[in-house]
Structure 1
Amino acid sequence: MSEIVDLEHVRLTQRPLLVCDVDDVVLEFLLPFEGYLTSLGHRLVQRSYRLHGNILSTLDDRPLADDVVSQLILDFFAAQETWQTPFGDAVHTLKRLGEQADIVFLTAMPPRFTEIRRRLLDSLDLTFPLLATERPKGPVIRSMHGDRQLPVAFIDDMVHNHHSVAEHVPECLLVHLMPQTEMHKHAPKPGPNVLQASDWRDVERHLLVHFSQQE
């Protein structure tokens, strides 16, 4: 993958580092995406943990082609300001955590949508640095955190991202957070090295304990 992740604007201090995914962690994704699909005459069936194969046309109830689904996801990213809203108590919790740690948003999406997502997060007063990339998250966090002897934590709803971070940043606290939808019931379970959080209050509790280990 030739994409280069630009870390130039990320300025870390001598505080713990929290790297946080965005979709279905900070911003609702699945529910507004379902509404977006309905507005276009499509229907999402939550019978497995994937979008491809589960989006049907309301005209004939047949699954849309994979390339059409991929384009719908990109179109939704372009329209996200109209549809996406905060997930749970993410906004207030992150602002509290930002008083104790450096926070960086690491969102899995094509970089060309960075400006749109930046505006949306800024409108919620979530002005922490943002990185949008389709690269594996582990190497990105390794490059960002380096060899700093400070606590580092990662929040994501996707198990494969936790596997990537565990491989490249083994000292990182891994916190799994996701919505409680029918589709998410089909999601792979995080391994024993990943903390399962039920909501943002639970996330905050885990992180404050981890950050208190700062030397």
Structure 2
Amino acid sequence: MKPLLICDCDEVLLHMVRHFGTWLDEAHDIEFDMSHHDWSRAMRPRNGSTLSPEAMWGYLDGFFPAEMGRQTLVPHAREALEALSNLADIVILTNLRDHCREHRIAQLDSHGIVHRVECNQGGKGAPVARLVEEHGASVAVFVDDLAQHHESVAREAPQVFRLHMISEPAMARFVPAAPHAHARIDDWREAQRWISARFNAGQPADTLHTAQGD
């Protein structure tokens, strides 16, 4: 069976936070400080009020799917996926509500990225494990920008290689490497080489001792 690449979308394939911040500013007079990966600290109403968690999620629901057209392609992402598709099956696993799935498919298609898309809510470990089993992949790589998802995948699917990527430079420099990822790479040209090497080696992650940043 072919290897499997399971890839997040926002801040991996498409820029999101920079456009979300612009929309918050324009439509809601809210500052979005990208130096904080914790959104409870990043979103700051200019009237000095404090946002509840429900309000923060409400703004996110306002962005998806209505404002998805603002998002732009991460440099070299399309070319990397095109090359990797010659080696592996590819699934885009995105944490959006299910009603956004068709919007995400169309959005990615508009950027020349046409692969299976699955929506998820919560940790990604269980869906990654299911996808690996479904595809029968002996080697799989998971790419995501959030540390908690790497921890979830490490727990639920330890055989999967985990690559931490934050493609937004204004945010990446403030976020440490995810401790449960095998590597941190924020550029798709280097990431493509790293992923290809894992596929070509043909060994699952839990049989190897892969150092951070290898």
- TM value normalised by structure 1: 0.85
Q: Which residue of 1 aligns with 2:26?
A: 39
Alpha-carbon contact 1:54-1:63 (below 8 Å) kept: no
Give the structure with the higher percent helix: 2
Unmatched 5+ stretches in structure 2: 204-214
What is the number of residues matched between the two proteins?
201
The secondary structure found in structure 1 opposite 2:14 is coil
Q: Which residue of 1 aligns with 2:167?
A: 179
Q: Which residue of 2 aligns with 1:69?
A: 56
Tell me the amino acid that sits aligned with residue 73 of structure 1: L
Picking from 22, 25, 42, the partner of 2:12 is 25
Unmatched 5+ stretches in structure 1: 1-13
Query: How much has 1:80 moved relative to structure 2?
Result: 3.7
Picking from 107, 117, 120, the partner of 1:130 is 117
CA distance in 1, matches of 2:146, 2:127: 16
- TM value normalised by structure 2: 0.85
After TM superposition, which residue ranges in structure 1, 4 or more long, deviate above 6 angstroms?
none
Picking from 14, 34, 39, the partner of 1:51 is 39
CA distance in 1, matches of 2:52, 2:176: 24
CA distance in 2, matches of 1:80, 1:206: 33
CA distance in 2, matches of 1:28, 1:180: 7
Give the percent of matched residue pairs that are identical in Structure 1 and Structure 2.
24
Query: How much has 1:157 moved relative to structure 2?
Result: 0.6
Alpha-carbon contact 1:53-1:65 (below 8 Å) kept: no
CA distance in 1, matches of 2:122, 2:49: 32
Tell me the amino acid that sits aligned with residue 30 of structure 2: H
CA distance in 2, matches of 1:22, 1:106: 7
| 1:214 is the counterpart of 2:202 | yes
CA distance in 1, matches of 2:19, 2:97: 19
Q: Which residue of 2 aligns with 1:94?
A: 81
Q: Which residue of 2 aligns with 1:5?
A: none
The secondary structure found in structure 2 opposite 1:153 is strand
Query: How much has 1:54 moved relative to structure 2?
Result: 2.7
Q: Which residue of 2 aligns with 1:155?
A: 143
Tell me the amino acid that sits aligned with residue 96 of structure 1: A
Tell me the amino acid that sits aligned with residue 123 of structure 2: P
Root mean square deviation of aligned Cα? 2.0
Q: Which residue of 2 aligns with 1:191?
A: 179
Query: How much has 1:65 moved relative to structure 2?
Result: 3.4
